[in-house]
């Protein structure tokens, strides 16, 4: 990966904020009063798949699992339309 002035990576390769753990995501949902099912529905995902990603049974390497993991902040990555 090429570095740019002052050793920073290009903006497209940086994550937006820190990577979260599933526990941190669930704690954030608790703080904001958001249910996992409500978040899933609002983002167009099946609640069962979001639960699977949060539980670690779906790794989020590709497909819908990847999209969910990136949107939850569990991993760095891009979501392409």
Q: Flag whether pLDDT at 67 surpasses 80.
A: yes
Per DSSP, the three-state class of 79 is coil
Domain ranges of the chain: 16-72
pLDDT band at 81 (very low <50, low <70, confident <90, very high): confident
- The answer to whether 74 and 20 have CB atoms below 8 angstroms apart is yes
What's residue 6's pLDDT?
A: 54
pLDDT in tens, 11-62: 333 446 789 999 999 999 999 999 999 999 999 999 999 999 999 999 999 9
Residue with tokens 């049974």: 57
What's residue 80's pLDDT?
A: 85
Backbone angles phi, psi at 61, to 5 degrees: -80, -30
Rounded-to-integer distance, Cα 40 and Cα 20, Å: 17
What's residue 11's pLDDT?
A: 36
Backbone angles phi, psi at 39, to 5 degrees: -65, -45
Provide CB contacts within 8 A for 75, sequence distance 6+. Answer: 19, 60, 66, 69
């Amino acid at each position: 990966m090429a570095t740019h002035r002052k050793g920073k990576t290009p903006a497209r390769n940086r994550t937006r904020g820190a990577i979260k753990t599933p526990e941190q995501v669930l704690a954030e949902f608790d703080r904001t009063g958001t249910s996992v099912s409500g978040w899933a529905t609002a983002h167009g995902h099946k609640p069962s798949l979001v639960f699977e990603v949060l539980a670690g049974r779906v790794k989020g390497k590709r497909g819908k699992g990847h999209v969910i993991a990136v949107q939850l902040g569990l991993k760095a990555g891009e979501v392409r339309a």
